[in-house]
Structure formats: C-alpha cells, structure tokens
Structure 1
Amino acid sequence: MIERDRLAANLERVRRRIAQAAERAGRDPATVKIVAVTKGVPRATVQLAYDLGLRAFGENRVQEALQKFGTDPLPSDTELHLIGYLQTNKVRHVVKLFSMIQSVDRLSLVEELERRAEGQGRRIPVLVQVNLAREPQKHGCDPLEAAEVVRALLEAPHLELRGLITVAPLTSCESEIRRVFAALRTLRDQLEDYFSYSLPELSMGMTNDFEIAVEEGATMVRIGRALFGA
C-alpha cells in the first residue's frame, strides 16, 4: 500500500503537469478532471486518495469493483466510473454501482443498459468508446459506427450521453498519439453538428500520454500508475 506522503506528492505532480499542459493549450486546468484508476488498488488506498481530494475513481473490472465497494461504498460526493470492457451479463450489477459508464461500444449493450437502468429508475451518464486506432486487441466501436451508437443512446431515455472516450496506441511516437486524440475531438465535433446535441466530455489520456491529451482537449484523464505506482 502506497504511503500517504508519496501519494500526495504524486497527485501534486500530476496536477502540476495537467496545469502546464492546459496552459500550453490556452485552457483552464479546472476543466480537466482526474479519474483515478484504482484497478488493483486496495480500498484503504482509495480512501487515502479521497482524503487528499480526489473525487472521481475508475475501475476496469466489474467483479473487482463489487468486491471493493459493494459493502464499503465510496462517500456520496464521489463518482465511480467503469472504464473497462462491459460484458452484457454484468450490466445488472453495473447500473447499481457505477456513476458513469465510459465503455459503451455496441448496440446490444445500449439495449441492455437501457433496460436495466429503467428497472433501477436511474438515468446513467455514459460515453461512447471509439477505437480510433483500429487496433484489433482494443475494444471500442469503429469510428464509422459511432453515429449509430450515438443515435441509439439518444433514443434511450434512461441513458445520458455525455461524450466520447478513446485509448491511444502504446507507442513512443508523439505525433501518432496526438493524431488519435485530435481525431476523437474532430469526431465529437462532427457528431455534435450532425445530431445538434452537445457532447462535452472527451475522456482520453492515461499515465503515458495525458499531457498530450490535455493539449488536444481532454476533459477527463484516466490516471493510475502516475498516482499509485506500478
């Protein structure tokens, strides 16, 4: 378990880097939310992060999130985001536990989420995950299919579409990473124009590339290793 002082120093470093990237892009750092990725992080460490001021947390695996927060829930002023692939048979758990689902990528998932959210009497914020790099090992809809998923979400009364999410290729080539993030922003703008609907959130950027993401318009960055260590 990471020590409080070390976590505090890591958080301050991440915030400073976000602020510097935002300044380079002429943006207000306050428009960028840190989603602390707590995959593999003990519940006690999550509490430390909360005590240090973090309020948004991201989990990749439904089962781990249930074990961690099912009987020891986060405080009421926090958000729990699902940022990993969502199997349809896990939706019944997800609509009870998570504040936002960042990994909506197919019509069958939209249908099941709508059905389960209606049953819970909830309206759940969601993001559409787009595989802009078209990497076969990654989840997310093809960019050409994004409009179809967006349309289905806009017709789902218990789902609130807030924006898009992508994962950049794991590469040291900054220009390739930047191209993917810029392409998500462009796709968002095109979808907003086509549907006449605001999509304010762009979730992009992780420990290796979040500064580039902020420069390209990210409103959420998903940070794990830079906060909690390997």
Structure 2
Amino acid sequence: MLHSVITEHIAKVRQQVEQACHKFGRNPSEVKVLAVSKTQPAEAIRVAAATGQQAFGENYLQEALQKQQELADLPELEWHFIGAVQSNKTREIAENFAWLHTLARQKIAQRLNDQRPAKLPKLKVLIQVNISNEASKAGILPSEVLGFAKQLLELPRLEVCGLMCIPKVSEDFTQQRQAFAQLADLQAQLMQALPELNLTTLSMGMSGDLEAAIAEGSTLVRIGTAIFGAREPKV
C-alpha cells in the first residue's frame, strides 16, 4: 500500500509541475522537486527513491541522521537540511548534508564553513529571506541580503546557490505570486551586484502554492504532504 500510494503521489506532483511550467512558459527541466520527508520513515524515502526521486529535505537533525544510516545503500540520495540551525548542530550538518536551505546568520555560516570536511564538495547553501516580514518566521530581511552575501563570499567551503523563502500563507493566487516575485527580483538584484556568485536556485513553493512559485521562477519546490500524505506525529 505504501509503495503504490507514494508512487502515485509522486507521479501527480510531477504532472502538476509540468503543467505549471507549460502554463507559464517554463521548461520543466528547470524545476526540481525536493521531497520533504521529515517525520516520514526511511522506508517511505526508499519507495520514493525507487521512482527516481533523489533529493530529500529534512528538518530534524537526529531523525535525519538515523534515516541516512538506514539508507546508506542508496548513495545517490541528495540530502537537504531545511530546518532551523542551532550552533550545536552545525558540525553534523556540515558533515552529512549536501545542501542547507536556512542560512541566515553569519555565526552559523562561519561554523559550517570551518566544519565542512575537506574531502567533501562545498556545502551548497541558500540564504533564507523573511520575504513577508513576519515576526514568527526565520530568515533575514530583504534589505540585509546583499551585506550577508558579501560576508559569505569570504567563506571558501560554502557555495551560495540562491535564496529561499516561506511567505505568509495566502489562498489568493495573486498574493502568492507577489511574494515569490519579490524573492525573484531580490535574487536578480543580488546577481547584478555580485556577479561572482553563481545563483542558480530559487527555493520557493510548497504543496499549496506550487503553481504561483513556478510562475515566478522557482527552480526548487519543497513538497511534503502531496507526496507522503499526512505527517507522522513526531515523538
């Protein structure tokens, strides 16, 4: 049952992405799906991987490390850390993940840089932007992004790949697009100001606002419930 449901869901998500790309003049190959697998068992990830899904996003470090051990026979999996980063977690993130989506503090960036093993490629990082200026949301304000990016250029073990946001929840398609358009504009400004950065990734859009994100240039959509169903309760 698990296998058939997840396989069916992934096919639907891929179809949604493709339809949105065609609707807004995008090439479907430009948009990558990140399967958000937090609180899901390793077996669910294994089923998803059998469909060709390789990128998985995790929020909880110890849970993620356990799943990485259980799935060590699948070295092609690409692990993204998409949760809040505390100082005492930076070493394990630096050692065990290919991507970090939630970089918003210079202190954390410095620790990740210093702790990234030389044997591994650079840690790919995204600057998290609080695009809707919500007190409850993590991330830096749009006005702070350029200065932060300049600081990150000094860290040789990190590769700044783009921006990420979680905008204010809205059911209105126009409002969804507006928030994503702001992040896309911010990334364009950053690329002009710092051409030495190779900013190829806009991580924006989830199950509820995927189409609006793709309309505004998202290259990576973070999809959890639409793939795995309701989350298992975290113990």
TM-score band by shorter chain is over 0.9
Q: Could you say what secondary structure the match of 2:125 adopts?
A: strand
| Inter-partner Cα distance in structure 2 for 1:72 and 1:14 | 23
Deviation at 1:67, TM superposition (A): 2.2
Identical-residue share of aligned pairs (%): 36
| Inter-partner Cα distance in structure 1 for 2:73 and 2:153 | 29
Counterparts in 2 of 1:207 and 1:129: CA distance versus 1, 3 Å: same
Unmatched segments (≥5 aa) in structure 1: none
TM (norm. structure 2) is 0.93
* 1:1-230 equivalences in 2 (<5 Å): 3-70=2-69, 72-73=71-72, 75-117=74-116, 122-196=121-195, 197-230=197-230
Query: CA RMSD for the aligned pairs?
Result: 1.5
Q: Could you say what secondary structure the match of 2:116 adopts?
A: helix
User: Quick check: 2:46–2:71 contact (8 Å CA) kept in 1?
Assistant: no
Unmatched segments (≥5 aa) in structure 2: 231-235
Counterparts in 2 of 1:72 and 1:50: CA distance versus 1, 3 Å: closer
Deviation digits for residues 68-108 of structure 1, max 9, x if unmatched? 21454362222100111111110011011111111101111
Q: Could you say what secondary structure the match of 2:101 adopts?
A: strand
* Residues matched between the structures, number: 229
Counterparts in 2 of 1:60 and 1:15: CA distance versus 1, 3 Å: same
User: Quick check: 1:96–1:120 contact (8 Å CA) kept in 2?
Assistant: no
User: Quick check: 1:36–1:56 contact (8 Å CA) kept in 2?
Assistant: yes
Deviation at 1:27, TM superposition (A): 0.9
User: Quick check: 1:95–1:120 contact (8 Å CA) kept in 2?
Assistant: no
Counterparts in 2 of 1:48 and 1:119: CA distance versus 1, 3 Å: same
User: Quick check: 1:204–1:221 contact (8 Å CA) kept in 2?
Assistant: yes
User: Quick check: 1:110–1:152 contact (8 Å CA) kept in 2?
Assistant: no
User: Quick check: 1:102–1:127 contact (8 Å CA) kept in 2?
Assistant: yes
| Inter-partner Cα distance in structure 2 for 1:53 and 1:115 | 33
Q: Could you say what secondary structure the match of 1:132 adopts?
A: coil
User: Quick check: 2:122–2:157 contact (8 Å CA) kept in 1?
Assistant: yes
Counterparts in 2 of 1:134 and 1:120: CA distance versus 1, 3 Å: farther
Point out 4+ residue stretches in structure 1 off by more than 4 angstroms: 118-122
Q: Could you say what secondary structure the match of 1:125 adopts?
A: strand
| Inter-partner Cα distance in structure 1 for 2:179 and 2:46 | 34
User: Quick check: 1:70–1:97 contact (8 Å CA) kept in 2?
Assistant: no
Aligned equivalent of 2:233: none
Q: Could you say what secondary structure the match of 1:57 adopts?
A: strand
